[in-house]
Amino acid sequence: MHGPASPGWLLVVLCAATGAYCLLRMRSGDERQRRAAGGEAFMGFGMAVMSMPAAAFTPPGWAWPLYAAVFGAAALRALWAARSDAHHLHHLVGSAAMVYMAVAMASPAAHHSPAHADAGAAHGGSGVPLLTGALLLYFAAYVLVSGVRLLPAGGGPAGVVAWGDRPELARACRLSMGIGMLAMLLTM
């Protein structure tokens, strides 16, 4: 996280725009979609905050444990919701990844790395390489699968569908967040 300024701002905009769209999706008439959109909006805005470039905003030391606690609570909620809907397992992995990144950024190693001396460079050497690699593989696979799901499969839904209920827009939202998560893990 906190990598070079230009890509960092692009990541902030991508995550915030995705969060905003997910808030709009919460107006859907479908209860299941509203719940999923709420969780995705929370994740999008949380990713936007955590990916702010260090040159623009360096969070105080207490912010990282707070992020870990907030996303830990989101992970517990996703675990509870996964009992009835397997889609929440992905939310669980995403929330756990956010907890992992917050804990890694709070560690003293993240603040004493050679890259930390240059505010425009990414933090280096933070996190557990094996766990980071596993999360990178998971989100890379998720992005690829999400991208394939966006391909047209033939005949669309009959009739007029409200823009907030269009499944391809929800998939594009999830794809954007998966790409954002990959970027955050790579720049951690």
The residue ranges of the chain whose pLDDT is under 70 are 1-4, 109-125, 153-165
User: Could you tell me the end-to-end alpha-carbon distance of the chain, in angstroms, rounded to an integer?
Assistant: 4
Tell me how far apart the alpha carbons of residues 59 and 187 are, in angstroms, rounded to a whole number: 16
What token pair was written down for 60? 């105080």
Tell me, what's the pLDDT at 138? 97
Tell me how far apart the alpha carbons of residues 20 and 45 are, in angstroms, rounded to a whole number: 8
Tell me, what's the pLDDT at 43? 94
Q: Which helix (H) or strand (E) holds 149?
A: helix 129-149
Closest by CA position to 142, among listed 100, 89, 172, 179? 179
What token pair was written down for 32? 């299941």
Tell me, what's the pLDDT at 111? 56
Tell me how far apart the alpha carbons of residues 35 and 26 are, in angstroms, rounded to a whole number: 7
Classify each residue of 31-59 as buried b or exposed e, where b means 16 or more C-beta atoms within 10 Å of its C-beta. eebebbbebbbbbbbbbbbbbbbbbeeeb
Q: CA 72, 96, 89, 44: dihedral to nearest 10 degrees?
A: 80
Tell me, what's the pLDDT at 185? 93
Tell me, what's the pLDDT at 110? 59
For the whole model, what pTM was predicted?
Answer: 0.82
What token pair was written down for 77? 């909620």
Tell me, what's the pLDDT at 116? 44
Tell me, what's the pLDDT at 122? 41
Contact 64, 58 (CB under 8 A): no
Question: How many Cα neighbours within 13 Å face the side chain of 177?
Answer: 28
